[in-house]
Amino acid sequence: MVKVKKSLLLGAIVCLAANSFAQSNFEKLGAQAWMKGDFKTAVVQLEKADSNDPSNINVLKMLGYSYFQCADYENAVGTYTRLVALKTDDYSAYYYRGKAYLNIANASKEDMSQTRDNLYANAIKDFTKAMEINGEEDIQILQNRGIAYKDYGIFKSYKIKKAVDKTNCVALLNKSINDFQKIMTMQPLRKDIVSLIDYVKAQIASLK
């Protein structure tokens, strides 16, 4: 009986060791592909690592970014959502989830969709959260939030039916300008930002 128990225990240890090796191997292979910029291969390996250990923060970070780089924005959103549930102060997870939301919204062909409306709102919320964690001086996040406000405002302009709709639309576009102007105070030679400001101002003028 003792020999049977020892045999079962040894079998369990060997099984755990094998699973641990497989997990670390999948993660290692995924990380190697990730570092090389081979994100399709990284996804294949990291999905296996994630399946074995769904709470591995490092795997989730690499997998979310790999999905994003492969333009699989739906899976990127899902992965980053799991990541922020485990690590609420990871600003990059909010940032890339925001970019994924924005890309999904802009790719949508449903111009009047409530889902698309929510995607823009979620993108702005995530960019704002990322800045709360990493600071208001993060130009990359500021620029992406400004673009999200711009795109959301233009989307809203398609649905104007009454004065309050126009007011809300202009408010979004003005928030876009505010973000771009903050960038200009830090990087006054940004011609691309000047062009964006001019474009948004023209959109506002067209609504009057």
- Domain residues for the domain of 46 are 16-88
Taking every pair of Cα atoms in the chain, the longest distance, rounded to a whole number of angstroms, is 88
Query: What pTM was computed for the model?
Result: 0.86
Indicate if 65 and 100 belong to the same structural domain: no
Q: What is the pLDDT of residues 18-51, one digit of tens each?
A: 344 445 799 999 999 999 999 999 999 999 999 9
Q: What is the pLDDT of residues 186-199, one digit of tens each?
A: 999 999 999 999 99
The pLDDT, as a whole number, for residue 111 is 66
Q: What is the pLDDT of residues 99-156, one digit of tens each?
A: 999 999 999 876 667 889 999 999 999 999 999 999 988 999 999 999 999 999 999 9
In a domain, 169, yes or no: yes
Q: Which amino acid is at 199?
A: Y
In a domain, 4, yes or no: no
Q: For 16-41, b where at least 16 C-beta lie within 10 A, e where not — what string? A: eeeeeeebeebbebbbebbeeebbeb
Last residue of a domain, one of 69, 88, 107: 88
Q: Rounded to whole angstroms, how far apart are CA atoms 161 and 112?
A: 13
Q: What is the pLDDT of residues 49-98, one digit of tens each?
A: 999 999 999 999 999 999 999 999 999 999 999 999 999 999 999 999 99
Last residue of a domain, one of 49, 72, 88: 88
Please give the tally of structural domains in the chain: 2
The pLDDT, as a whole number, for residue 36 is 96
Last residue of a domain, one of 55, 88, 121: 88
Lowest-confidence region among 48-52, 158-162, 169-173 = 158-162
Cβ–Cβ < 8 Å for 120, 155: yes
